[in-house]
Structure 1
Amino acid sequence: MSLSAVGLLVVVLVPLAVLVGVVLVVVRLARPGPSGTARAGASATQTSGQAVRRFFQFLLLTGLLVAAGSGVAGLLGRLLDPGRVLVRDDGGLALQLTFTFIALPIWAALAWWTSRRLRTDPAESRSLGWAAYLTIVGIISLVVAMVAWQEVLDGALTATTYRGQRLATALVWTAVWGGHRWWGRSVTPRPLLRAELLLGSLVGLLTAAAGLLMVVSPALRELFGLTSDSIVGGSLPDILRGAATLVVGAVVWAVYWLREAVRGPRDTGWLALVLLAGVAGGLLVAVVAASVLGYDVLVWLVGDPATTRATLHFAALPGELATLLVGLLVWWYHSAVLEAGAERRTEVRRVYEYVLAAVGLLAASAGLVMVLVTIVEAIAAGSDLVVGGSALNALLAALVLLAVGLPLWWWHWRSAQRARAASPAEELESPTRRTYLLVLFGLAGVVAVVALLTLVYLLLQDALESGIDVETMRSIRFPFGILATTSLLSAYHWTVFRTDRAETERRRSSGAPAPGGAAGTTRLRHVLLVGAGDPGVAAEVSRQVGASVQVMRRTDLHANPWVVEQVVALLQDVPTSSAVVLADTDGIRVVPVETLDPYTG
């Protein structure tokens, strides 16, 4: 064995031994003493001791698992790819043997002890450390297995050289993923598995979208005749490679999302995935692709293209069009999921509208900045606005952004304003609307101040050095455009916010009815369901009432099925902002509650 291999072995095993020793010491210190006095003295530090023990325990489990998985995959790869056995690799073989015959048994022993703790101590299965371990290992094994399976399918479809290591990695890490998925579901409360479920859905969605893009783009390139090769030697390998990625991503997305997450509770993580990654992400990708596509077309028709050959100028057209189609598909699907079952305007619908309005406003603002920059640059040049290829192309880009962003913003902002006019009490009390207005006002104000400082600095610098001239106008064109645009946005949204605030104060002072109740009532925001047998009731109640809903199970009574319509009817006349729906032996009853001010002494 070489010195480098020995050194590597020492580097791996010494920290491992240290971690094992630390875990044993922590476990020993965290164990209560035999006497009652010792137990009383240890009770104050037991929680922190358990947290430290779990940290090192699950950290060690993760490290050992990664090492063992790598070792087993390496040895299995040598068996599945006998051609590589002839290549001498003593260092790699020694490392794989060490990981397999040292790390794997240690991990198995620690996992067995952990499994016993999980089944005998309910606090273990509900701990943050256990949930973090399942999430981290689940996502790591999922990603490694996905990459390996993509390479296996790619090699099979494109008839490339067989590599047994790819198949071995795919098999081993798929087994790791499946084993931990079964292990976690057998002992862990479902809410603690939400993070891994949603992250897996996101990974599958992104991979499937990328694979679809990789399939559509070369297909369009072949359809438009933008490749000089035959389809067999040109676009077909790219299409097959994209198909492999699409299949892997679609399978993962179906397992995580279609089987479970789409029907799960619409909590904060679920809404973040659907709204940010699905709706806003898909639409933002589509808007960018449409803007670039429109810019290329306009530059070719009326602008100053860099080349006179259409095949060169539109070389990126298939990719842009494919990106547009994929982005629209992702946006459309998640919008449909978000709208499913929504019979009334809820806070989720408001978030959806304001997010899309913000995306459109961002694109339109960028277009307005570029228009102002182009105008200042043309004035500084002392010529017409469209003279000069760069100025004309910049103006075309600005017009494209305005053409894409303004309709998108106006459509969703007008929808929100119509809802405000139809139901002012409900819309004015919406935290989403207030957050949207204040965030836009604040961000635009901060950017405007920075742009103002930059503009004044550039003006004073030129005035003190050589005097203000045409070059000064060129240097301030971007700060000027940003300042004008952000000032306009900040002023507009501040005006809307002040109008909303004045209307809210007027309605409160006059005793106008709150949403969902009579005059003087308060909008229901938080509901706690105690004794509901089906957690899915919370999602339906939240969707119909528009409040945040939580569920707790009663341990002293058998949970009978709840009727959503009955719960919603009971909540209609609640005079407070919070309520508890309680199931007892006489049926379901509602208890209005309110938050007390904290005791200050």
Structure 2
Amino acid sequence: MSATTVKTGNAGRLATIRRLYFYLIAFVSLTTGLLALHNLLTTLFDIWLTATTTAMANDADFVRNSVARDSGLLLVATPIFVIHWAYVQAISRRAGADADEERTSTLRKLFLYAASALTMTLSAVRLYRLVSESVSVLTGDGRIDALIWPAGWLSLVASVLIHLLTLSYFLQQLRLDADLGSELRWAGTLRRIFQTVTGLVGLGILLSGGGAILEQGLRLLLENLSRSAILQSSVGWWRVGVADGSAGLLVGALLWWINWRRWDALIQRNDAEARTALRRFYLYGATILSAACTLAPSALLLYRLLLQLFGVAEPAALPDLAGPLSLAPLGLIAWRWHWQEVNREAMRYGDSPESANVRRLYYYLVAAVGLVLMWLGLVEMLRALLDWLIIGGAAAAVNFRAEQLARGISFVAVGAPVWSIHWQAVQRVARGDDHAAQSERTSGPRRAYLYAVALVGALLILFDLALVLYRVLLWALGDANADVFGAETLDSLVRSGSAAVFWIVHVLAIRTDTRLTE
């Protein structure tokens, strides 16, 4: 090893240590300063604008301590951040290889995206509260009016503006680094992680906020239909749901839409971005989230409707259907849209080996979830039917079995199509004789899925069937307390029998894969 190589390696390690120190101190001081500034603004606006303030009602020492503490933190954190950030900025804006290395370094990107995530989170939280409490005031909630206007409103507006300006500054620095969308090594991965998390969080908040708004109208309608007493006893109960839903809808829509537009613009400049693993992970993750927001409420809705059909639930439970009815349509719209985007990008830009693995991971993971739900549903249904046929019982047990049957039907109604659609899709690919089929049969996600199902199925058969045989043998040997037809024996028989069916299906798939691969 030459002396030049050793010197270069030492310089690289020293640069990494230097970056770690400067960016860590800059991030800690930035966080401290932003939090202290918000608290200080809240206290000062409260003292300045509110006639009978919380601060004035409390001990004056508390006010002095709050102002002194936050002012001290702000006065210390601000120069520390400015000094450290100005130093690394001076290095990155020079001409030469050192500046290029600084601008493209992983630690710099980590700081910029961490700072962006921090300021975006703070602005989203403050904006959520601002919108929620403002809508509460507009809908006539006098308690919120007294709390937020004018001091609370102004402090929230000021905080949102400060955080948004800070966020815009850091995003501008990422653009000025001149490698946005074409980052090297881990720098690109950090950006995609940031965009993936932002998009999924924004979509989740958007769906929950929109669902909360729809829920209030549906609940009002269903309470009228069921003649619920809530309408008479809780005047204005809908205000909280409308306020929080409006805030969630606005904040979630902004996060999701801005993130989507920024990522789409990068794809237009660089086609390879659409084939990256994290881009496909985001699309499939958004699809799963949207599907969950559709299928879970649908299963719950079916369960509650079946309870009413079986005579277990009273009509007064109708308002409880408002939640599932409101979230499922929004989830369905988002599900369809994201699935179309998955197919569009796959057809337009193709697959990389990494994105193909993400696709397989999606299919087998969703198939596994559907299989578990279907198995649980079959177990519940068969247990209820066998209990009714063999054990019988009092009227109290009838309600329990009705709940079991309703739960089982709901699980099967969701799990069976989910498993069947995804399982058949991967089976069509794996049963071919081309390179794609060979890659599918030997892929890690497929083998992990098949062997995991086979393993779990074998264990269920082993332990549950052994328990059944144990009780049968006790009965054959003359034990009067063997309880061959008891609930525990029937449960074990149902679990092992249904597990055996799925075990056989997947073991046969393993054998077929082995035969076609040889």
TM-score range, shorter chain: 0.7 to 0.9
Which residue number corresponds to residue 14 of structure 2? 49
1:489 pairs, out of 472, 495, 502, with 502
2:216 pairs, out of 215, 218, 228, with 218
Q: Does the C-alpha gap of structure 1 residues 478 and 181 become closer, same or farther in structure 2, counting only changes over 3 Å?
A: farther
1:116 aligns with 2:79: no
Determine if contact 1:459/1:472 at 8 Å carries over to the other structure. no
1:136 aligns with 2:107: no
SS of equivalent to 1:314: helix
CA distance in structure 2 between the aligned counterparts of 1:485 and 1:189, rounded to whole angstroms? 55
1:340 pairs, out of 344, 355, 359, with 344
Determine if contact 1:434/1:497 at 8 Å carries over to the other structure. no
Q: Does the C-alpha gap of structure 1 residues 350 and 71 become closer, same or farther in structure 2, counting only changes over 3 Å?
A: closer
CA distance in structure 2 between the aligned counterparts of 1:317 and 1:375, rounded to whole angstroms? 27
In the TM superposition, 1:145-544 aligns within 5 A as 145-159=123-137, 160=144, 161-162=147-148, 163=152, 164-187=154-177, 189-190=179-180, 191=183, 192=187, 193-225=191-223, 228-229=230-231, 233-261=236-264, 264=267, 265-266=273-274, 267-276=276-285, 278-305=286-313, 308=314, 310-311=315-316, 313-340=317-344, 342-343=346-347, 347=356, 354=364, 356-375=366-385, 377-378=387-388, 381=391, 388-418=398-428, 423-431=432-440, 434-451=443-460, 454-455=463-464, 469-470=482-483, 473-475=486-488, 480-505=493-518
Q: Give CA-to-partner distance per residue, 1:38-87, whole Å, 9 cap, x none.
A: x7654443333333332232221111001111122223333433235645
CA distance in structure 2 between the aligned counterparts of 1:386 and 1:153, rounded to whole angstroms? 49
Q: Does the C-alpha gap of structure 1 residues 341 and 74 become closer, same or farther in structure 2, counting only changes over 3 Å?
A: closer
Stretches of structure 2 that go unaligned for 5 or more consecutive residues are 138-143, 268-272
CA distance in structure 1 between the aligned counterparts of 2:214 and 2:447, rounded to whole angstroms? 41
How far is the alpha carbon of 1:470 from its aligned partner? 2.9
Determine if contact 1:380/1:471 at 8 Å carries over to the other structure. no
How far is the alpha carbon of 1:367 from its aligned partner? 1.0
CA distance in structure 1 between the aligned counterparts of 2:492 and 2:480, rounded to whole angstroms? 19
CA distance in structure 2 between the aligned counterparts of 1:91 and 1:458, rounded to whole angstroms? 68
How far is the alpha carbon of 1:97 from its aligned partner? 0.8
- The TM-score normalised by the length of structure 1 is 0.68
Which residue number corresponds to residue 92 of structure 1? 66
Kindly provide the amino acid, as one letter, of the partner of residue 130 in structure 1.
R
Kindly provide the amino acid, as one letter, of the partner of residue 288 in structure 1.
A
- The TM-score normalised by the length of structure 2 is 0.78
2:79 pairs, out of 105, 118, 121, with 105
How far is the alpha carbon of 1:443 from its aligned partner? 2.1
How far is the alpha carbon of 1:471 from its aligned partner? 8.6
Determine if contact 2:380/2:404 at 8 Å carries over to the other structure. yes
User: Which has the higher mean CA deviation after the structures are superposed, 146-155 or 167-176?
Assistant: 167-176
Aligned residues: 462
How far is the alpha carbon of 1:143 from its aligned partner? 1.4
Determine if contact 2:36/2:70 at 8 Å carries over to the other structure. yes
Determine if contact 2:19/2:107 at 8 Å carries over to the other structure. yes
Determine if contact 2:461/2:497 at 8 Å carries over to the other structure. no
CA distance in structure 2 between the aligned counterparts of 1:417 and 1:447, rounded to whole angstroms? 21
User: Which has the higher mean CA deviation after the structures are superposed, 315-324 or 193-202?
Assistant: 193-202
Q: Give CA-to-partner distance per residue, 1:422-454, whole Å, 9 cap, x none.
A: x54144223388445422322223323543565
CA distance in structure 2 between the aligned counterparts of 1:133 and 1:471, rounded to whole angstroms? 65
SS of equivalent to 1:429: helix
CA distance in structure 2 between the aligned counterparts of 1:382 and 1:229, rounded to whole angstroms? 42
How far is the alpha carbon of 1:377 from its aligned partner? 4.6
Q: Give CA-to-partner distance per residue, 1:320-342, whole Å, 9 cap, x none.
A: 11222232122111101112255
User: Which has the higher mean CA deviation after the structures are superposed, 89-98 or 289-298?
Assistant: 89-98
SS of equivalent to 1:233: coil
1:76 aligns with 2:47: no
User: Which has the higher mean CA deviation after the structures are superposed, 394-403 or 78-87?
Assistant: 78-87
Identity %: 20
CA distance in structure 2 between the aligned counterparts of 1:455 and 1:352, rounded to whole angstroms? 31
CA distance in structure 2 between the aligned counterparts of 1:326 and 1:453, rounded to whole angstroms? 43
Higher relative contact order (Cα pairs below 8 Å, separated by 6+ residues): 2
Q: Does the C-alpha gap of structure 1 residues 406 and 295 become closer, same or farther in structure 2, counting only changes over 3 Å?
A: same
CA distance in structure 2 between the aligned counterparts of 1:62 and 1:478, rounded to whole angstroms? 56
Q: Does the C-alpha gap of structure 1 residues 404 and 94 become closer, same or farther in structure 2, counting only changes over 3 Å?
A: same
CA distance in structure 2 between the aligned counterparts of 1:249 and 1:61, rounded to whole angstroms? 29
CA distance in structure 1 between the aligned counterparts of 2:444 and 2:480, rounded to whole angstroms? 44
User: Which has the higher mean CA deviation after the structures are superposed, 104-113 or 176-185?
Assistant: 176-185
CA distance in structure 1 between the aligned counterparts of 2:460 and 2:514, rounded to whole angstroms? 29
How far is the alpha carbon of 1:316 from its aligned partner? 1.8
Which residue number corresponds to residue 141 of structure 2? none
Q: Give CA-to-partner distance per residue, 1:160-207, whole Å, 9 cap, x none.
A: 232144333323322222221112221162233333222222222122
How far is the alpha carbon of 1:303 from its aligned partner? 4.6
Determine if contact 1:200/1:253 at 8 Å carries over to the other structure. yes
Q: Give CA-to-partner distance per residue, 1:360-395, whole Å, 9 cap, x none.
A: 333212212323443565567356999621122202
Q: Which has the higher helix share?
A: 2
Q: Does the C-alpha gap of structure 1 residues 320 and 330 become closer, same or farther in structure 2, counting only changes over 3 Å?
A: same
Which residue number corresponds to residue 32 of structure 1? none
CA distance in structure 2 between the aligned counterparts of 1:40 and 1:497, rounded to whole angstroms? 51
Kindly provide the amino acid, as one letter, of the partner of residue 23 in structure 2.
F
Kindly provide the amino acid, as one letter, of the partner of residue 490 in structure 1.
W
SS of equivalent to 1:189: coil
How far is the alpha carbon of 1:403 from its aligned partner? 2.3
Kindly provide the amino acid, as one letter, of the partner of residue 210 in structure 1.
S
Kindly provide the amino acid, as one letter, of the partner of residue 242 in structure 1.
G
Kindly provide the amino acid, as one letter, of the partner of residue 62 in structure 1.
F
Q: Does the C-alpha gap of structure 1 residues 434 and 251 become closer, same or farther in structure 2, counting only changes over 3 Å?
A: same
Determine if contact 2:300/2:324 at 8 Å carries over to the other structure. yes
Q: Does the C-alpha gap of structure 1 residues 403 and 198 become closer, same or farther in structure 2, counting only changes over 3 Å?
A: closer
CA distance in structure 2 between the aligned counterparts of 1:118 and 1:56, rounded to whole angstroms? 16
CA distance in structure 2 between the aligned counterparts of 1:384 and 1:503, rounded to whole angstroms? 55
